[in-house]
Amino acid sequence: MRNSRIGASVATVAASALVLSACAAPQSEVVEGSSISVAWNQAFYSYNPDTSFGNATANANIVYMSNSGFNYYNNEPALVRDESFGTYEIVSEDPLTVQYTINDDTQWSDGTEVDAADMLLAWVANSGVLNTPDFDPSEFTDPDTGEFTDEYPTDVVFFDGSIGSGLELVSQTPEIDGKTITLVYDDFFVDWELVFDVGMPAHITAGKALEIEDPAEAKQALIDAVQNNDTEALAAISSFWNSGFNFSEMPEDTDLVVGSGPYTITDFVADQYITLTANENYRGDNLPEIEEITVRFIPDPLAAVQALANGEVDIISPQATADVADALAALDGVTVLGGEEAVYEHVDLTFADSKNGTFDDPLLREAFLKTIPRQQIVDTLIVPLNPEAEVRNSQLFLPGAPGYDETVENNGMQANFGEVDIAGAQALIAEAGVTDPAVCILYASNNPRRVNEFALIQASATEAGFVVEDCGSPEWGGLLGTPGAYDATFFGWQSTSLGVTNSSATFRSDGINNFSKYNNAEVDELLSQLDVTLDPEEQIDIQLQIDKLLMDDFYGLTIFQFPGVTAYSDRVENVNPGPLSPTIFWNVWDWAPTENN
């Protein structure tokens, strides 16, 4: 699912509620010859999950294992600082100034040091500060793949990064010194601790873009380009950063899989599996115990259960269904863990550059939302797994969290779209003065639950007079946000943190997760207020306003919170999934082989 890095907020938790823990103690050495396999429901396709194309959980899982950073969430969930990678601290609160320092022994898997050049690349790529003003990449995006086309201009600077996440507030080029970078924010940003980390290696990115082989020279070329705002060099660097790390099988150029984490990619067969091996150059505390981990791509949940039963995989975390639960209950030598995930299903409508242009008209947006059979979807697909499951009625608030009940009373989602209203939808279509409005719906066509959801939505919308086109695709993730590809979509947002500002990436007009092309100046202003608001009650009040504005614009509907299931064989231990991305992989270094391995 495509939103691994900047997913919607799991709750209205203030940054002050984040818990910092001491870094983990060093683990034992790798058990030579040990290996396990893990099933995941989507294939890897990009090593850069910070781009709009690569922004998917399937990619972020692999990158998490092969790269380290300043912090991560455990399964409580609490924020853990990894001081074996580097440290950071606020050196001034007015203006907010944060200094990050990489440890002396931290290095990339090819032996090159991780340093300030890498952090400078992370800033320029995810702040968008040096991007060419007003450049719109949409006309250079392939509607069939979601990737940039060969016609993409070579003279523009455009880093397709996590703009809207907070780094855009660091508008002045940061000072760097050796392994240190200092970020000075224009305004205090409440979630400052969650928005900056090292991403792609600078020596690989600049080296490939500028055809420089020496790592030190490549790093310096990147530094010079950023500090001098060298448009020609930055255009090449940004182009490579955007697309150079996209691959769907093992690249011939293994420089593209250089990482800083406990594992490194060593094998990759398209649409089948990707293998990671313990990184010999990793110097951090999170030393792995299992030598080799293979992630196998198995979209069908029951097929994943069968693979576990056959011993083909050792860990699965499939989309939960009643059939999956029954099949797992019949297995011996398998531990099954349940729970509710920080993922919610939602239907979004496209406001601009859609396939048919149907939802340019707010009357048709409202009409279509009146046909979504949310209660039927929950009763049919979720209640068999969780008898207490309810329809979710908020874009920003987690059910049960502070503010949720108030927003349900206020935002209009339950009041206006709590039940299917075919007659109301028909009246709105007539008022719009159209007949047979077409709606192309994008979804994961290789996911049984999503196929069932589509069938329920299609039947209901067709009854109201919509012509529903099946635009489902196994490659749905790469198509999100692609101009002309669809009119509506449904999938799950996977939350990545407890940050209160995470919704900016989805609902801000220039946010990386704004696949709907939604644009509301009042929402943008409120999100900007939320960025700098420390008081929890004020944060809730701002989010209540945003939640209502989204419904006033008929942005879309939320449907349900995901029920979760993880199962693992007796060949591995210490599997303890967390609610936030990367869920089962958060403590991959703790996984240990048993005597059965």
Distances (CA, A) of 376 to 399, 418, 557: 19, 11, 14
86-256 and 258-340+563-593, same CATH topology: no
Which amino acid belongs to residue 368?
A: F
Q: In the prediction, which pLDDT does 69 show?
A: 97
User: How far apart (Å, rounded) are the C-alpha atoms in residues 88 and 438?
Assistant: 52
Residue 18 Cα distances to 72, 89, 495, angstroms: 11, 15, 15
Q: What angle do CA 557, 448, 496 make, to 5 degrees?
A: 55
Q: How much is the pTM?
A: 0.85
Q: Following DSSP, what letter does each residue of 84-129 receive, concatenated?
A: TTEEEEEEEETTEEEEEEE-TT-B-TTSPBP-HHHHHHHHHHHH-T
Class of domain 341-561: alpha beta
CATH class of 86-256: alpha beta
- pLDDT score of 123: 98
Location of structure tokens 């931290």: 106
Listed residue (306, 300, 299, 344) closest to 326, CA to CA: 306
Q: Dihedral through CA 246, CA 203, CA 157, CA 505, nearest 10? A: 60
Tokens representing 49? 């999950």
Sign of the dihedral through C-alpha 69, 42, 512, 413: negative
β-sheet with 71-73: strand ranges across: 20-21, 79-81, 71-73
Are the C-beta atoms of 85 and 69 separated by less than 8 Å? yes
All residue ranges of the chain with pLDDT < 70 are 1-28, 163-164
Give the torsion through C-alpha atoms of 547, 551, 556, 562, to 10 deg.
Answer: 40
Q: Which of 496, 490, 456, 436 is nearest to 10 (CA)?
A: 496
Q: Give CA separation, 278 vs 49, 204, 281, in Å.
A: 21, 21, 9
CATH of domain 258-340+563-593: 3.40.190.10
Q: Which two tokens stand for residue 382?
A: 């979720």
Name residue 31's beta-bridge partners: 290
Q: How many C-beta neighbours within 10 Å does residue 317 have?
A: 23
Q: What angle do CA 415, 418, 424 make, to 5 degrees?
A: 85
Please spell the DSSP secondary structure of 65-89, one letter per residue.
Answer: HH---SEEE-SS--EEE-TTTEEEE
| CB neighbour list of residue 402: distance below 8 Å, 6 or more residues apart | 11, 12, 536, 540
Q: What is the DSSP letter of 276?
A: E
Helix (H) or strand (E) holding 349: strand 334-349
Report the half-sphere exposure of 526 (CA within 13 A, side-chain side).
21
Say how far apart CA 399 and CA 341 lie, in whole Å.
Answer: 12
Please report the pLDDT score of residue 20 as a whole number: 22
Beta pairing partners, 441: 470, 488
Asked if residue 88 lies in contact with residue 100, where contact means CB atoms within 8 angstroms, the answer is: yes
**Backbone phi, psi, residue 37, to 5°:** -125, 145
Beta bridge partners of 72: 80
In terms of Cα–Cα distance, which of 26, 29, 136 is closest to 83? 26
Closest CA to 9 of 203, 246, 190: 190
How many helices (H) does the chain have, and how many strands (E)? 17, 19
What region, left, alpha or beta, does residue 537 occupy, with left being phi > 0 and alpha being psi -120 to 50 degrees? alpha
Name the one residue in this structure whose structure tokens are 């940039």. 148
552 CB neighbour count, 10 Å cutoff: 13
518 phi and psi angles, rounded to 5 deg: -75, 140
Distance CA 496, CA 586 (A): 11
- Hey, which residues does 340 pair with through a beta bridge? 563
To which residue do tokens 């936030």 refer? 580
| Distance between CA atoms of residues 481 and 349, nearest Å | 11
- Report the distance separating Cα 482 and Cα 353, nearest Å: 8
| Those residues with Cβ within 8 angstroms of residue 455's Cβ, 6 or more apart along the chain or in another chain | none
The arrangement of strands across the sheet holding 273-278 comes to 263-269, 273-278, 290-297, 31-40, 315-316, 556-569, 334-349, 488-494, 438-442, 467-470
What is the crossing angle of helices 231-243 and 202-210, to 10°? 110
Q: Which two tokens stand for residue 35?
A: 């290996």
Q: Where are the domains of the chain?
A: 86-256, 258-340+563-593, 341-561
| Phi, then psi, of 555 in degrees rounded to 5 | -60, -45
